Amino acid sequence: MRTERALHRLALALVLATVGLIFAGGLVTSTESGLSVPDWPTTYGQNPFTFPVSKWVGGIKFEHSHRLIASAVGLLTVVVAVAFARGEKRAWVRRLAYLALAAVVAQGVLGGLTVLFLLPTAISVAHACLAQTFFCLAVALAVVTSPRWREAEPAGANSVRRMAAATVAVVFLQLLVGAVMRHTKAGLAIPDFPLAFGRVVPPITSFAVAIHFAHRMTALAVAAAAAVCLVRARRSGREDLKRIACALGGLVGVQIALGALTVLSKKDVILTTAHVVTGALVLGASLVLALASRRTSMSASRKTASRTPAAAISLSEEPAWK
């Protein structure tokens, strides 16, 4: 039991550290500091861990801080992978930890390539999307090591599960479109809100306008998906799903407000970065809902157990999707 709690806490620490890393990466993009440190893996030819603080000026402080935080997250991921290899009994959960380690290594390489190849859009977008994928892996590790998950049983197919899974896909697509928009500098291609050049549908005169408008449309799709999740969670009668769906809906509302403020403020650095971080939180919340809907609530499990002869109870350690 003590080992299980320790693994859960490690996974939670990885989630929180990753949120911090996404914030730091958002600051780099928002301040256009991606090439403030022109070399990699060194920092102006020096060991990045001993680079003098006195030289952390201008964009260097954002880019160099991002690298150091990324290194810390990478080290923590190594610790998580080793801890899960030694203490986690479920093979599929251990594989999740190994996949997270592979993802963080690949993310570090992509981060270096963005610098060495002078911020090419394709690599920069891949770097942003892999960051969200890694965050999902960290969230999944935190969920499946929680006491609620361990004490509950696999749930049958339900409408919440299907809608939550679809929402994860829609949110990821929206974040992908947002990453393309950011890295092609199309954040202000449509300068007004809620209308677009004073219209509901703007004239598509360039790729920048098209990708910006696509970002707004996919945001509406995310809002619609979150609303359906909330309705279905309420109908399910499960309080845990209702709470998660309410949190998801609240985050989507905050995200839309931050998107509007980002445009109206002409991409204020803090607002733009907060928009990036909240997007990751929306993705994480939708994933938590999708995972939670795959298990019965603890109270439901206990009620079922109390009505079922002990000899007939079979708690599966394998995930519902296997």
d(CA 132, CA 138) in angstroms, rounded, equals 10
pLDDT of residue 309: 46
| Mean pLDDT, rounded, for 15-34 | 97
Q: Is the pLDDT of residue 316 over 80?
A: no
The pLDDT tens digits of the residues spanning 170-204 come to 999 999 999 999 999 999 999 999 999 999 999 99
d(CA 74, CA 106) in angstroms, rounded, equals 10
Q: Nearest CA to 286 among 238, 221, 225, 216?
A: 225
Dihedral of CA atoms 230, 235, 241, 245 in degrees, nearest 10, equals: 10
Q: Which distant-in-sequence residues (6+ apart) come within 8 Å of 97 by Cβ?
A: 80, 81, 84, 85, 88, 141
154 confidence band (pLDDT: 50, 70, 90): confident
pLDDT of residue 315: 37
pLDDT of residue 13: 98
pLDDT of residue 151: 87
The predicted model scores a pTM of 0.91
Would you state the structure tokens that stand for residue 84, as one six-digit string? 């899960």
Contact 289, 167 (CB under 8 A): yes
Contact 243, 252 (CB under 8 A): no
The pLDDT tens digits of the residues spanning 78-109 come to 999 999 999 999 999 999 999 999 999 999 99
